[in-house]
């Protein structure tokens, strides 16, 4: 927050010189090495050079100007060519808290993204298969990034690029025709369709000709075979319901569900453009584009004419550029697709477009349980919705033990369970693999989502039915380190949100919130917040309230509910 004051001193001085002398002077503002000299120091060399006046005159003038600023400044001391400034820490802390309380949910908002469009592609499950843990990671990271970017003023457009086309549908169609029965399946579509898919993969292990049949079925789909397309539509609808269960639980929605199939009729134009630009090369009957020595070529069309993932993504990126006019597009997809997105960018550049730099692969690592990756193909996999429900059940048991008389226990358990899963993921830098432990993540202590919710609830219960007047504070309390440090952390919220947006990393906010909660809990252990003395009490309440505002808003940016009680 000293940084903010530094910035304001710089801006105000520059404005003063501009207005008085019509000169654009770049004023330097720094922090003195020796803090006994002051909190901020302004070397006046650049001003002397520009104004061509003696140093003492310049320094005196600047001193008076700085004193006149409406900033929490205690002392302004000119020493030689420097003006040393002591910040009024108590006033500063007071101003921070007042601002947080005044702005409430809007506290921490920024305008760094104003006028810029960001398109986000996330979740994107392959819907005839079951929703995988990787897709859950993509869903949570993408959703949080959307909320963070919005808070920074960006216009966002979120797309669930459903994997609703591809050989997995060929497999489903073959499996359905061999072993399926419509009425039976409709009794419990999600589970029965998953069972069919699992059975197909099991039988194909001993009978590889099944895979040939599946490829042929998919080829028929691409040739617009009516029967197969009808089956595809039905399976697509029913499969999507599994994902929707998860989105409903996490309260996540998308601006568009245009998946891979949406681009079926948009690929020919791109292939033609590649052809016209002389980029397409014949390779054993297939069509490829060579991308240079540092990268394998992109396979654009299979020898049997079948379409490909990259061709679809290429068609999609042009469509989206035109339709959503993005300044940036984010693909929240696992590390394993690094090459795919590098190829996509190279293709864009090779085609003569200049927006490859706007294409970002927001990569993430694997989810490990006991050091192993879970697979959805083999059967006997736990379904994700069941994992979420287990977390909710664990949360319920904890709440029931702690606070048996609580109303809405079910609803609160739902939010606590989800918080465990979401925070357990987002606290890790997304690029890394995550070792996840459900029991640990649900706990109310340690580095967990429920711990943050619990800290917020603690503050809510302190403040419940209390009124306080922030104007009637004892600001001298802010000179105590545990007061001042806490206010300083509250003030860091905005720059933290901006950093999370710039680094596309929700973990920046997650880690910050853990630090804030820890500082608050330390404060709580040192001070009786509901103090006897009115002015002390007002100060404590105001500080606690500002922490609660930031905790709530920070949790919201991660996709987690804050609570009044738990």
Distance between CA 235 and CA 55 in Å, rounded?
80
- The helix (run of H) or strand (run of E) holding residue 239 is helix 226-250
In the complex, what is the shortest distance from the CB of residue 138 to ligand ARG, in angstroms, rounded to a whole number? 7
Nearer to ligand ARG, 38 or 163 (CB): 163
SS3 193: helix
On the CB side of 430, how many CA atoms lie within 13 Å of its CA?
30
SS3 362: strand
Q: Whose CA is closest to 8, among 62, 63, 65, 71?
A: 71
In the complex, what is the shortest distance from the CB of residue 381 to ligand ARG, in angstroms, rounded to a whole number? 16
In the complex, what is the shortest distance from the CB of residue 476 to ligand ARG, in angstroms, rounded to a whole number? 56
For 449, phi and psi rounded to 5 degrees? -65, -50
Nearer to ligand ARG, 319 or 484 (CB): 319
Nearer to ligand ARG, 288 or 330 (CB): 330
Distance between CA 556 and CA 566 in Å, rounded?
17
For ligand ARG, the binding residues (CB under 6 A) are 121, 124, 126, 161, 163, 313, 331, 333
User: 250 CB contacts (<8 Å, ≥6 apart)?
Assistant: 139, 140, 143, 418, 422, 559
In the complex, what is the shortest distance from the CB of residue 163 to ligand ARG, in angstroms, rounded to a whole number? 3
Q: Whose CA is closest to 52, among 11, 88, 23?
A: 23
Nearer to ligand ARG, 270 or 550 (CB): 270
Distance between CA 520 and CA 447 in Å, rounded?
14
Nearer to ligand ARG, 132 or 540 (CB): 132
**What does 245-258 look like in DSSP terms, one character per residue?**
HHHHHHT---SB--
HEC assignment per residue over 15-65 = HHHHHHHCCCCCCCCECCCCHHHCCEEEECHHHHHHHCCCHHHHHHHHHHH
Q: How far is CA 182 from CA 186, 233, 238, 239, in A?
A: 6, 14, 12, 14
In the complex, what is the shortest distance from the CB of residue 117 to ligand ARG, in angstroms, rounded to a whole number? 17
Nearer to ligand ARG, 126 or 539 (CB): 126
In the complex, what is the shortest distance from the CB of residue 336 to ligand ARG, in angstroms, rounded to a whole number? 8
Find the residue with minimal CB distance to ligand ARG. Answer: 163
162 token code pair:
């459903």
Nearer to ligand ARG, 314 or 492 (CB): 314
In the complex, what is the shortest distance from the CB of residue 89 to ligand ARG, in angstroms, rounded to a whole number? 49
Nearer to ligand ARG, 29 or 330 (CB): 330
557 token code pair:
């940016």
Nearer to ligand ARG, 45 or 353 (CB): 353
Distance between CA 460 and CA 562 in Å, rounded?
10
In the complex, what is the shortest distance from the CB of residue 507 to ligand ARG, in angstroms, rounded to a whole number? 21
Query: Which residues lie across from 373 on neighbouring strands?
Result: 368
In the complex, what is the shortest distance from the CB of residue 148 to ligand ARG, in angstroms, rounded to a whole number? 20
Nearer to ligand ARG, 240 or 477 (CB): 240
In the complex, what is the shortest distance from the CB of residue 390 to ligand ARG, in angstroms, rounded to a whole number? 24
């Amino acid at each position: 927050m000293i940084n903010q004051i530094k910035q304001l001193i710089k801006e105000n001085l520059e404005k003063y010189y501009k207005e008085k002398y019509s000169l654009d002077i770049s004023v330097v503002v720094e922090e003195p090495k020796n803090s006994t000299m002051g909190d901020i120091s302004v070397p006046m060399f650049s001003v002397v050079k520009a104004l061509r006046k003696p140093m003492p005159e310049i320094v005196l003038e600047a001193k008076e100007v700085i004193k006149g600023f409406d900033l929490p400044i205690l002392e302004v001391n000119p020493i030689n060519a420097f003006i040393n400034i002591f910040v009024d820490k108590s006033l500063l802390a007071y101003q921070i808290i007042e601002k947080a309380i005044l702005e409430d949910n809007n506290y921490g908002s920024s305008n760094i993204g104003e006028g810029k469009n960001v398109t986000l592609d996330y979740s994107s499950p392959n819907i005839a298969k079951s929703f995988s843990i990787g897709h859950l990671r993509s869903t949570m990271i993408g959703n949080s990034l959307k909320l963070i970017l919005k808070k920074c003023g960006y216009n966002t457009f979120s797309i669930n690029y459903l994997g609703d086309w591809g050989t997995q549908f060929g497999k489903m169609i073959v499996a359905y025709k061999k072993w399926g029965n419509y009425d039976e399946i409709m009794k419990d579509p999600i589970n029965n369709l998953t069972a069919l898919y699992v059975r197909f993969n099991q039988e194909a292990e001993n009978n590889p000709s099944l895979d040939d049949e599946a490829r042929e079925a998919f080829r028929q789909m691409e040739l617009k075979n009516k029967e197969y397309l009808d089956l595809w539509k039905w399976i697509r609808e029913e499969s999507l319901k599994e994902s929707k269960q998860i989105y409903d639980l996490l309260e996540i929605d998308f601006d568009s569900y245009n998946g891979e199939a949406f681009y079926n009729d948009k690929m020919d134009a791109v292939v033609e453009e590649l052809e016209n630009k002389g980029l397409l090369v014949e390779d054993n009957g297939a069509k490829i584009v060579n991308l240079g020595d540092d990268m394998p070529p992109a396979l654009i069309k299979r020898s049997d004419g079948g379409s490909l993932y990259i061709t679809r993504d290429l068609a999609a990126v042009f469509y989206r550029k035109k339709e959503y006019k993005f300044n940036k597009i984010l693909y929240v997809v696992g590390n394993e697709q690094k090459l795919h997105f590098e190829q996509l960018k190279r293709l864009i550049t090779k085609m003569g477009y200049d927006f490859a730099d706007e294409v970002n692969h927001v990569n993430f690592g694997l989810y490990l349980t006991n050091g192993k990756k879970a697979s959805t193909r083999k059967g006997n996999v736990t379904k994700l919705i069941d994992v979420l429900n287990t977390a909710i059940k664990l949360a319920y048991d904890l709440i029931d033990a702690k606070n048996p008389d609580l109303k809405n226990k079910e609803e609160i358990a739902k939010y606590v369970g989800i918080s465990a899963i979401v925070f357990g993921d987002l606290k890790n830098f997304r690029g890394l693999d995550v070792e996840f432990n459900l029991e640990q993540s649900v706990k109310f202590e340690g580095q967990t989502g429920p711990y943050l919710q619990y800290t917020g609830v603690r503050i809510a219960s302190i403040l419940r039915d209390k009124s306080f007047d922030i104007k009637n504070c004892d600001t001298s309390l802010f000179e105590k380190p545990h007061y001042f440090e806490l206010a300083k952390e509250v003030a860091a919220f905005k720059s933290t949100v901006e950093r999370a947006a710039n680094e596309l990393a929700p973990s920046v906010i997650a880690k910050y919130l853990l630090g804030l909660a820890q500082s608050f809990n330390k404060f709580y252990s040192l001070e009786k917040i509901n103090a006897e003395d009115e002015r002390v009490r007002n100060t404590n309440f105001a500080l606690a309230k500002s922490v609660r505002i930031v905790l709530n808003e920070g949790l919201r940016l991660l996709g987690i509910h804050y609570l009044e009680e738990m």
